Copies of this chain bind each other. A is one copy, B any other.
Amino acid sequence: MNRPSALTADLSLMRELNRALVLQLIRREGRISRADIAKHTKLSRSTVSSIINDLIDASLVTETGIGTSKGGRRPIILEFNYQANYIIGLDVSRNAVSAVITDLNARICSRRQISFNVNDGPTVGMPLIKQLISTMLTESPVGRGRISAIGVGVPGPLDFRNGRTIAPPVMPGWDNVPIREELSQTFRLPVSIDNDANLAAMAEYRWGAGQGAQNMVYLYMSSAGIGAGLIIDSHLFRGSIGSAGEVGHTTLSVENDESFGPINAGSLEALASQITVLRLAREQKLINADDDVHALVRKAESSPEIQAILRRTAHYLGVAIASIINIFNPDRVVIGGVIPETSPLLIETIRATVARRALSIAVNNTSIVPGALGRNVAALGAAALATERLFAPPALERPATLGVHSNEVGSLAS
């Protein structure tokens, strides 16, 4: 029963930590001088110089000019070299695999999509995925040598010890497939893999509507279903077996409500997924058979009936979100997917439901906003995960508690 033991600290670890510290500061600040880095990190100027030399040698950082003086020598401006490496991000969906190549700042510089049927299983699917990666590698404008990692998102839970799928409901036949190992061995690159909702959460947190949040909940209303990604203290939380945030198959309870009649329990996915919304609208002949969600949202503006469907859907989502807010106390809730990101009605109705049902002190400190990254969120998140991995400082044990402490009197440990 050995848990992941804390790392032992030696000189090389020290260097790694400070290197990562400096690097992250440069990534966050954009343009910064050695002296400012020393001030921010409280490292000595000489140490900073030494570390910067390392980073310049590794071409992760470049000197891009001279800053303005404040009464003395003008500083040399350092910038993160976002084009030092490139990352491939993949999003495996139910009927398509989309891929992006991004630089280290998540700027997409190449994008491609293939159609795909997840029901064909891994014997058909894996070669397709590999071929897509191959195409991206060879046809990329940046050259294969500069692509240094691959990130993959799949619509289902994963065993995160070995990077295998575990009985994913929307991926029949894909149980226990060692996706990570296969790709890693084929392409000789580090491969990161995760649930698509988690990845989308990651992307929104880093570059989208979740920036600056401390604890964020991301609800992902994709074509494949409904999932949630939880970010705690800047880190993805997956739960004990990786099913944290798997709200899609939750039994939903909705009591009598002023605006809705009594409703039997069902799963959130059955009640409020994109597919359900489309089906309801088609059954009521409010949209055509070949209309997609974009058309639905557009037609909603002039159709009270579609609006009613959206309100009801939002109500279900709101119930689930209220529950999450009560338990989790996030400071931001981001709702991603085509409908949430294009229909203000949905978001507003969700806000109203949450305000009625969640703890007011928690709601008042939470902003509920639509996603900001659009169609490629999950692929972008896959790239984000792989990127973070490249620059992550070594994992150290956190202190045993997060309680409230007096700092006035010293501790024994120090």
Chain A residues in the interface with B (C-beta under 8 A): 1, 3, 5-6, 8-11, 13-21, 23-24, 40-43, 58, 60, 85, 148, 157-158, 160-161, 163, 167, 180-181, 184-185, 188-194, 198, 202, 212, 214-215, 228, 230, 232-247, 249-251, 253-256, 262-265, 319, 322-324, 326-331, 356-359, 361-362, 365-366, 385, 388-414
Contact = CB atoms under 8 A, between A and B. Distances in A.
A163 B404 CA distance: 6
Contacts of A228: 327
A167 B360 CA distance: 12
A327 B323 contact: yes
Contacts of A15: 9
B9 A404 contact: no
Given A236-B401, A240-B331, 4 more contacts: A9-B18, A234-B400, A241-B329, A247-B327
Contacts of A357: 251
A401 B413 contact: no
Contact of A326 (B19, B148, B250, B362): B250
Contact of A246 (B167, B230, B329): B329
Q: Top 3 A-B pairs ranked by shortest CB distance?
A: A239-B329, A392-B399, A253-B253
How many copies, total?
Answer: 2
A215 B264 CA distance: 32
- Most chain B beta carbons < 10 A, residue from A24, A158, A404: A404
Contacts of A263: 255
Would you call the interface of chain A mostly helix, strand, loop, or mixed?
Answer: loop
A37 B3 CA distance: 16
B13 A198 contact: no
Contacts of A16: 413-414
A377 B22 CA distance: 43
A265 B323 CA distance: 14
A14 to B, nearest CB: 4
A190 B408 contact: yes
B19 A406 contact: no
